Structures are given as C-alpha cells and as structure tokens.
Amino acid sequence: MPTFVLNTNLSRSTIPDVLAEELTAVLSKELGKPKQYIAVHIVPDQILHFAGSSEPCALGSLSSIGKIGNKQNKNYSKVLFDLVNKHLHISPDRMYIVFHDLDAANVGWNSNTFA
C-alpha cells in the first residue's frame, strides 16, 4: 500500500507520463512490494516556494506500512531524488521528502484495513 505524493510548482505540461510509471517500478523494487499496491500521485501547478524562491521545486511524501527507517530512507531518497531530477530537472536541494511509517490498522483498503 505504499503511496508516494509529489507536489510541484511545475506545470502539468512539463511532467512526462513515464515519471509515474518509473516511480511505481522503483518503489516496488526498493520497498519489496508488488506494483499493484503502489500508488503514485503527482500534483502539478502548486504554489510552492522553496528557500524563498519560486524556481522549480517539489515536496514529496512516501508512506508505507513498514519498510520505513533510517537506512531504507537514505536509499529511497537517492533513487527518488534521482528520478525527479532526471524527469523534472528539479535540483535535489530544492526538494524535501517526508517518510511516514503507517500502522496497518490505520490504512483502509477494499472495505477493510490492512490489520
């Protein structure tokens, strides 16, 4: 059930469709979870300023039941920042990613929870 939300001040027209596909594949591999459970939400056209500037920037959020921790997050940071930079040309120093380790009882799916 991992979710990755990427908010950016870039316009929709500058975001290639392949980015969501590649994010899904990378997250599936890195988290060790099937693609059918990965959700990626890219939110363009946001009013975002980073370090007092409206230059291209982004805010990311990765949530997962487990698989979140110090060592893992460093690895996720590397691959996610690299992909965002590759496709959106947003410098890694103009983006944050926040990691959330979710309790299975607090995540609903298919008329139930994961607990």
Q: How far is it, in rounded angstroms, from Cα 28 to Cα 44?
A: 23
Closest by alpha carbon to 3, among 82, 88, 63, 89? 63
Q: Is 2 a catalytic residue?
A: yes
The whole-angstrom distance between residue 68's C-alpha and the CA centroid of its chain comes to 13
pTM over 0.95: yes
Active-site residue (options: 2, 16, 34, 92) = 2
Share of the chain above pLDDT 90, in %: 100
pLDDT tens-digit readout, 37-91:
999 999 999 999 999 999 999 999 999 999 999 999 999 999 999 999 999 999 9
In whole numbers, what is the pLDDT of the chain averaged over residues? 98
Domains of the chain plus CATH, in order, are 3-113 (3.30.429.10)
Give the pLDDT band (50/70/90) at residue 93.
very high
Give the pLDDT band (50/70/90) at residue 23.
very high
